Structures are given as C-alpha cells and as structure tokens.
Amino acid sequence: MKPPYIFDIDGTLFDTHEKEYDKSTPIEHMIALVNMLHNEGHKIIIITARGTGSGIDYEKLTRNQLKKFGVQYDELIFGRFVTDKAISPEEFVNEM
C-alpha cells in the first residue's frame, strides 16, 4: 500500500490572504503535484483550520473550491493540527 499524503489548504494549495477564503486562488503547481500523487494511487487527505477560531462553517465553500480548482482528494478534515514534522511546500516540491 502506498503511503498517504496530507496537505494543508491555505498557503499550500491555495493562495489566501487575511483569511479571505472566498478570494483564494489556486497554487497550480501544488495542485498538479497532489493530483499526480493521487493518480499514482496515494491517498490524499486535505486538512484545514478554516473556521476553527471563528466558528464559521467553511465546509461548503471549501469543498466547492477544491472541486473548482480540480483538486483530487480522498478526505477533507477541518480542525487544528499540531505537529513537529511539518515540511514547507517548497521543501516538499524540491524533494519530489
């Protein structure tokens, strides 16, 4: 079984400024990379902290954006994430 990959949305797959989620634009090369991994058989999990501080439900907007921008994924998770093993999008691209 191929390992899953987990990607954040804002700042990784979408260019978003000042939590203006409705104005997010795709980061094309990162979406292409995610789709390539998905097509190779990797499970793609998308994570986001959208709305965790404000309590606003951004699920519909987020799912619509993922579809509009053509992101292929298996699971979408909203929440706060704590990790000591994060890698920046630039570092990830350079490793690929």
**Beta pairing class for 25-26 and 14-15:** antiparallel
Domain 5-95: give its CATH superfamily.
HAD superfamily/HAD-like (3.40.50.1000)
Where residue 7 falls (left for φ over 0; alpha for ψ -120 to 50; beta otherwise) is beta
pLDDT in tens, the chain (96 residues): 788 999 999 999 999 999 999 999 999 999 999 999 999 999 999 999 999 999 999 999 999 999 999 999 999 999 988 877 777 787 877 777
Tokens representing 10 are: 């804002």
